[in-house]
Structure 1
Amino acid sequence: MGRRKAGFRKDHHFNRKKGNSQRTEEVQDSRKPYSDIIKENEKFVQYYKTLGVCKEEEFDEFITSLKTDLPATFRITGSKGVAHKMLEIVQGQLIKDCVDQTEENEKALKIFPLPWYPNKLAWQMELTRKDIRRYEAYYKLHNFLISETEHGTISRQETVSMIPPLVLDVEPHHKVLDMCAAPGSKTAQLLELLHNKDDPIPSGYVIANDVDNKRCYMLVHQAKRLNSPCVAVINHDSAVLPNLFSTSPDGSKQQVQFDRILCDVPCSGDGTLRKNPDIWMKWTAANGINLHGIQTRILRRGAELLAVGGKIVYSTCSINPIENEAVIHRILSETDGALELVDVSGHLPGLKFSPGMEDWLVASRNLEFYKTFDDVDEKWSTTIRPQMFPPKPEDRGKYNLNRCIRILPHQQNTGAFFVAVLKKVKLLNCKETPLISDETKKREIESNSSNSQRKKPRKDGYREDPFVFFKEEEPVWTDIKTFYKVADPFDSKCLLTRCHVGKKKNIYLTSEAVRDLVVTNQGTIKFINTGVKAFVRCDNKNMKCAFRIANDGLESIYPFIGDDRKVTIPKEDLITLLLNDDPQHSPPIVSLSETVQKQVEDLSPGSCVLIYKEDTVNPLMIHISGWRGTTSLRCYMDRHSTVHLLRLLGGDISKYDVNKFKKTMDNEFVDEKKEDNGESITNESVVQVGK
């Protein structure tokens, strides 16, 4: 359900008769736009009112809030210096620009930091995404969100979705697994926490898994914005996720036990009604019952992969206790004290929530409610299972289900969400043995039987290009190391390419731990992506080295680059370079300050690192991949990164800050003028029909 994609036409080629240029009869489209969806479902209301998911006096407010659109939110990311500067921009110029341009007939802007998110790095607007796109007063806000999201300095993420990574308590040395990671907003947040100490290559890592091959590539896009060498994306059914192995100091192989696991399982999603209103029409009481089994299996597999002393967060965007507390109760009862619920009620001061439910009814598809399994009608006994019922009153203290967190939409204008934090205090009561699914075995056999290295479509996705790590004496690396005077502590064996033969176009960097995982597990684990781009082939006759430094991996390799290829640049010169968007006419070196001229005087042509640092309490440090030409100097930056840096430096971004409303009006004016002159107008809404 939902709106058709922009540009969709009912007379598209797949709706035409073959060989006929005449427009065929319009095909009836039964889909409804979100604005036409009736946000009512009597069974939904009856179900949750009977279950008592909130206080009786709050229930009407609870239902009403689910029928309103969700406000827009975002998080500020990046290193401490950049995050501090971005916070200043949000609190200052961004809000001022929006407030100053708000007109009487437009919705007033209300933007505020989430009180429970650390360091005011998460913000909520009393505006929907539709409002931001619709009103001209917010075009600068819209441009800001787009450019900074693409650069990776902010993440547009729903408020409640930010909670699971925070309560997971990730540290830079932790081995972290995200079991159901796509589309990747929580994975990105986990990576931010992993790099929280501003260490470019922490010893820990994040393994992001998803069962859907196509969604894995969405996950890759999210992870790439963070430019981390400590993440790998894999593609497996999380309920039967194979064990991963690593190499111990003595050379033996040992099973990886994760310190932190995020288990954000597939769910009915009725907590997302505010952004997915089509669920109003689809919702039934059977949704939760049908998902309870797979949710439990995923959580149990996560518990098996968790190290003793480690934590696992189970979360859903569902309101249904069958998908939430019932799953937690079941896993606690089946693991015989190996897991215990952690009380995180004081972990995020200012967060409004309700405690987990300790008693609930189980309903059939027809909303026949049952208090115990003994009461269940025989016709439902195969779908409603004993494990879905709450603990007996005398056992409630044993499970502490009230330690779970329930966030309801009316409490702080968010979506609905469920979070439970479990700690593993001992091994599970079953033997935790390696688990490899039949699907994995089949893939391994098919992979070994093929000699082709090219990416080919398969039923379960694409066969990925190989991950080819550098050897001790890699000819390409010798040239790079010599040209950039790379320090010896840098381990070139952590560099990789995605081809066995031919010229190496891109060279990627991983951490030592991620390299070991990929090398050790390539036979059993389907790796989709890993590594951050560190060097890019740049065949230039004036350059002694065939590779330039890539901005993506610059922060990771910067400490190892020799000082000879580093240029400290004043703010004014850096702004000059950033404002130049014509690579054919880069700023001449003689036009820059004497400070820069002296530094590059003896610098041979080729790639270099441009450095800017503010002298403040929270210094802003900027490293950019630059190019020293024969007589010029420029920086390698894409458009969004350029806008981001100009914004940080206080430069002029007016030529990038396009008012799409004014642009539309200008185009309409031109069209009207053409029409007045008798000229024909062609646009997407005009279809040329054959004679």
Structure 2
Amino acid sequence: MGKKSSKRWKNKKNKNANAETNEKGVRKQYEEIIKENADFETYYKLQKICPEEEWDNMMTHLKTSLPTTFRITGSRSEARALLHVLQKHLIRDAVLAGKSDPEGDIGAFPLPWYPQTLGWQISLTRKDIRRNEAYFRLHNFLISETETGNISRQEAVSMIPPLALQVEPHHKVLDLCAAPGSKTAQLIEMIHGEEEGINTSGFVVANDLDNKRCYMLVHQGKRLLSPAFIVTNHDASRYPDVVQTDENGALKKFKFDRVLCDVPCSGDGTMRKNIDVWKKWSTSNGLFLHQVQYHVLKRGLELLEVGGKLVYSTCSLNPIEDEAVLHRMLKDAEGSVELLDIDLPHLKHTKGMSHWTPCTRDLVQYKNFEEVPVKWQTTVRPYMFPPTPEDAPKYHFEKCVRVLPHQQDTGGFFIALLTKTRLLPWEKTEVELKPEEAPPPVKRDPRGPPKKIRRIGGYKEDPYVFMSEDNPIWPHVRDFYGLDQGLDCTNFLRRSEDGKIKNIYITTKAVRDFVMNNENTVKIINVGVKALARADKKWTPCDFRLSQEGLPSLSPFIKSRRVQLPKQDLEAVLLNDDDKDKPPLLELLSEETRKLVEPIERGSLVLDIDLQVEDDGPLCKLQLVGWKGTNSLRAYIQKNDRVHYLRLCGADVSKYEKNKFKEREEAEAEEAKQKETGNNEPEMDMDAENGEGNGNGTVASPEEKDDATESSDGVAVAAPIEVKSS
């Protein structure tokens, strides 16, 4: 038995060993987790987090699955165009299908409290997708547009903390416990506002303790194409001090304008999606997490600028993790921190509480710390008790927001908005750092071929080497693309000191300064977005081609090698870009476009499109990376991006989607045809017969075919498409 077969057999054996059998020895399926927990109900009834008359409704919602929620990326120029396609076609078709569906409609509507109708809720289940083609197309839309970064699938209540933080493009933002990164993505969108580029003075630092989860944050930066984004890897409660250089070149302590503390919690607000919480829930979870939550909040406030704002949030309903943490912090801050109102008028919620009752694991409740037995005094601490009725009004806990599941068919969440009115009592007065207090210069080992070394706490990251004017790459790239003289070459960086440079990244001046001042004290995982990638072809006039990831940042500075493409030519290029015989030839384009393209030297260029989405849709300005071959013009983009732009053109994208409804129709038609002709033999795979296979029994991908057909035409091979499961 081979190694793989043996491993598969062992896994199957272990799985069968855990399964139950009935009297006849027939294996049964696992029983679903029972969504009941008597301690949970007893505890929260005691805390009175929900009015008694609403309790049954809340518990009913907690035991049902969450609806699907997502938001359209507001910082993209085509956000309104995508919203138009969604509403006029996909949502409309799904709603019409629901009217004739005996099992009811999908209840699609915009979230009433999310700005500009960019947040949506849809009750779409896997069962729905299997039985209705309109629902299936909507599901495909959500998957492909998530990959392109044009939408983000995110739980509704998880969208609230970034909105409450009121981020503006000039703000320096710290997300202390960021992974997996859905809230981080919102913060990045707010930094860019409706503009994309490197001129923004704000940026987002996303931090997480888990090194592996930090790379989930890196993926968010790639999806959102942001040059104003930094990923760091630290314990949030001990995040290092950071410094900045002022206009006179002096080092000073750096403080953030906005801080998000979405702290680790017991997660009982997520019971609708994380059903394991039902059987694992205990009051001890909140008691043990309180200390961690307090220290993360405290560190967040220490890193916050005076006058700045901080959001403290949890996906827990427990006041020990919510109001008790705030109460402890407000007492220690001695008036230097205050709670603020959260301005989301259409959000249904309950106000924060000024009274709660700490309990031990066995649900014994105590009115004050003096009642706590000695054996429990290390678990139930004095700072977990509520303020006295006389002191409670001065804390203004009513400004906090607790979202209960039944109020808007969501998960449970707690959000508080704080401001720092002056330095905390234990903070020193801000002064200029002395030279001896400045971080020491970087010491780096000589490097051979780039290779990451596994260490405790993650890999040793490659250095960040910013470009200088005397770098020979810079004038070569600048002249080829006609880059504006106002573009500072020091905004570009690479991730290696030695060896051949594969990729060049672009970032903002503010991010560059943060990295250069703090790379010795802060463990930085990722910075910026890829702007240029090496084109390893001897006949290529420029060694580096443009990257679609960094084009929104670089495009405003590119003055040459640009082609204005009308809508019909864009559609022609996109629809023919995966032809198995040839790349999109210039003869497919209009005469006017050919005259613009033909004089341009081979290589990478920018395709500009002013796209009107249907007759009544919005106008959006697009920029795509293209490639000019000898007789061809290609859009140098990923498959999901191609589908996205074809949608905006109003083209049929069914050829890019696996549609089992049409496959079933075709199979039935083929079966009927075989019966008519009396031939029951399956048809030969003509692609494989004619040598179009890729050597492993499957038909070659468009990228493999491009590789085989384009070398004669002089067109660079597109980067391989990353296929990910949904």
In the superposition, the TM-score normalised over structure 1's length comes to 0.89
> Which residue of 2 is the match for residue 249 of structure 1?
247
> Which residue of 2 is the match for residue 649 of structure 1?
649
> Which residue of 1 is the match for residue 332 of structure 2?
334
* Contact 1:79 1:198 (C-alpha < 8 Å) held by counterparts: yes
Report SS of the residue matched to 1:225. helix
Residue 324 of structure 1: which of 318, 322, 325 is its match?
322
Task: Indicate how the Cα distance of structure 1 residues 134 and 214 shifts in structure 2: closer, same or farther if over 3 A, else same.
Answer: farther
Q: Deviations over 1:519-560 (max 9, x none)?
A: 221211111111111011113344321111111110111111
Distance in structure 2 (CA, Å) of the matches to 1:666 and 1:526: 55
> Which residue of 1 is the match for residue 299 of structure 2?
301
Residue 410 of structure 2: which of 414, 419, 432 is its match?
414
Residue 44, structure 1, aligned to residue 40, structure 2: yes
Q: CA deviation at 1:494?
A: 1.2
Q: CA deviation at 1:82?
A: 0.8
Distance in structure 1 (CA, Å) of the matches to 2:669 and 2:233: 51
Q: CA deviation at 1:657?
A: 2.9
Report SS of the residue matched to 1:394. coil
Q: Deviations over 1:279-313 (max 9, x none)?
A: 00000010100000000000000000000000000
Q: CA deviation at 1:456?
A: 1.5
Report SS of the residue matched to 2:61. helix
* Contact 1:139 1:660 (C-alpha < 8 Å) held by counterparts: no
Task: Indicate how the Cα distance of structure 1 residues 11 and 548 shifts in structure 2: closer, same or farther if over 3 A, else same.
Answer: closer
Residue 469, structure 1, aligned to residue 466, structure 2: yes
Q: CA deviation at 1:468?
A: 1.6
Q: Aligned AA for 2:114?
A: Y
Residue 65, structure 1, aligned to residue 46, structure 2: no
> Which residue of 2 is the match for residue 234 of structure 1?
232
Distance in structure 1 (CA, Å) of the matches to 2:250 and 2:65: 55
Report SS of the residue matched to 1:254. strand
> Which residue of 2 is the match for residue 612 of structure 1?
609
Distance in structure 2 (CA, Å) of the matches to 1:654 and 1:134: 18
Report SS of the residue matched to 1:423. strand
Task: Indicate how the Cα distance of structure 1 residues 605 and 415 shifts in structure 2: closer, same or farther if over 3 A, else same.
Answer: same
Distance in structure 1 (CA, Å) of the matches to 2:33 and 2:361: 23
State which drifts further: 629-638 or 399-408: 629-638
Residue 120 of structure 1: which of 117, 120, 124 is its match?
117
> Which residue of 1 is the match for residue 629 of structure 2?
629
Distance in structure 1 (CA, Å) of the matches to 2:9 and 2:489: 55
Q: CA deviation at 1:98?
A: 2.0
Q: CA deviation at 1:472?
A: 2.2
- Output aligned runs, 1:111-190, within 5 Å: 111-128=108-125, 131-132=128-129, 136-190=133-187
Q: CA deviation at 1:10?
A: 12
Report SS of the residue matched to 2:390. helix
- Output aligned runs, 1:358-373, within 5 Å: 358-373=354-369
Distance in structure 1 (CA, Å) of the matches to 2:345 and 2:4: 52
* Contact 1:533 1:553 (C-alpha < 8 Å) held by counterparts: yes
Residue 192 of structure 2: which of 190, 195, 201 is its match?
195
Report SS of the residue matched to 1:319. coil
Percent identity among equivalent residues?
51
Distance in structure 2 (CA, Å) of the matches to 1:272 and 1:133: 26
Q: Deviations over 1:257-286 (max 9, x none)?
A: 000000000000000000011100000010
* Contact 2:77 2:622 (C-alpha < 8 Å) held by counterparts: no
**Root-mean-square deviation over aligned CA pairs:** 2.9
State which drifts further: 408-417 or 199-208: 199-208
Task: Indicate how the Cα distance of structure 1 residues 446 and 306 shifts in structure 2: closer, same or farther if over 3 A, else same.
Answer: closer
Q: Aligned AA for 2:528?
A: G
Distance in structure 2 (CA, Å) of the matches to 1:218 and 1:661: 34
Residue 381, structure 1, aligned to residue 412, structure 2: no
Report SS of the residue matched to 1:249. coil
Q: Aligned AA for 1:629?
A: G
State which drifts further: 304-313 or 649-658: 649-658
Unaligned runs of 5+ in 2: 21-27, 431-439, 675-679, 683-726
Distance in structure 2 (CA, Å) of the matches to 1:72 and 1:326: 32
Q: Aligned AA for 1:306?
A: L
* Contact 2:58 2:405 (C-alpha < 8 Å) held by counterparts: yes
Report SS of the residue matched to 1:246. strand
Distance in structure 1 (CA, Å) of the matches to 2:30 and 2:337: 42
Distance in structure 2 (CA, Å) of the matches to 1:130 and 1:316: 32
Q: Aligned AA for 1:550?
A: S
* Contact 2:108 2:120 (C-alpha < 8 Å) held by counterparts: yes
State which drifts further: 408-417 or 500-509: 500-509
Q: Deviations over 1:159-201 (max 9, x none)?
A: 0000000110101100000000000000000000111141422
Task: Indicate how the Cα distance of structure 1 residues 216 and 624 shifts in structure 2: closer, same or farther if over 3 A, else same.
Answer: same
Report SS of the residue matched to 1:36. coil
* Contact 2:159 2:183 (C-alpha < 8 Å) held by counterparts: yes
* Contact 2:507 2:528 (C-alpha < 8 Å) held by counterparts: yes
Q: CA deviation at 1:49?
A: 0.7
> Which residue of 2 is the match for residue 460 of structure 1?
457
Residue 404, structure 1, aligned to residue 400, structure 2: yes
Residue 560, structure 1, aligned to residue 557, structure 2: yes
Report SS of the residue matched to 1:393. coil
- Output aligned runs, 1:251-290, within 5 Å: 251-290=249-288
Residue 88, structure 1, aligned to residue 89, structure 2: no
Distance in structure 1 (CA, Å) of the matches to 2:670 and 2:31: 32
> Which residue of 2 is the match for residue 639 of structure 1?
639
Q: Deviations over 1:59-92 (max 9, x none)?
A: 1111111111001000011446411111111211
Task: Indicate how the Cα distance of structure 1 residues 568 and 37 shifts in structure 2: closer, same or farther if over 3 A, else same.
Answer: same
* Contact 1:70 1:128 (C-alpha < 8 Å) held by counterparts: no
Residue 515 of structure 2: which of 503, 514, 518 is its match?
518
Report SS of the residue matched to 1:586. coil
Equivalent pairs counted in the alignment come to 652
- Output aligned runs, 1:478-497, within 5 Å: 478-497=475-494
Distance in structure 2 (CA, Å) of the matches to 1:497 and 1:506: 7
Distance in structure 1 (CA, Å) of the matches to 2:334 and 2:14: 64
Q: Aligned AA for 1:410?
A: H
Distance in structure 1 (CA, Å) of the matches to 2:382 and 2:130: 49
Task: Indicate how the Cα distance of structure 1 residues 574 and 280 shifts in structure 2: closer, same or farther if over 3 A, else same.
Answer: same
Distance in structure 1 (CA, Å) of the matches to 2:162 and 2:477: 38
Distance in structure 1 (CA, Å) of the matches to 2:140 and 2:381: 51
Q: Aligned AA for 1:368?
A: V
> Which residue of 2 is the match for residue 28 of structure 1?
17
Q: Deviations over 1:212-237 (max 9, x none)?
A: 01111111112210000000000000
Report SS of the residue matched to 1:350. coil
Distance in structure 1 (CA, Å) of the matches to 2:126 and 2:655: 24
- Output aligned runs, 1:187-226, within 5 Å: 187-201=184-198, 202-226=200-224
Residue 394, structure 1, aligned to residue 390, structure 2: yes
Task: Indicate how the Cα distance of structure 1 residues 135 and 392 shifts in structure 2: closer, same or farther if over 3 A, else same.
Answer: farther
Report SS of the residue matched to 2:619. coil
Task: Indicate how the Cα distance of structure 1 residues 262 and 583 shifts in structure 2: closer, same or farther if over 3 A, else same.
Answer: farther
Q: Aligned AA for 1:70?
A: L
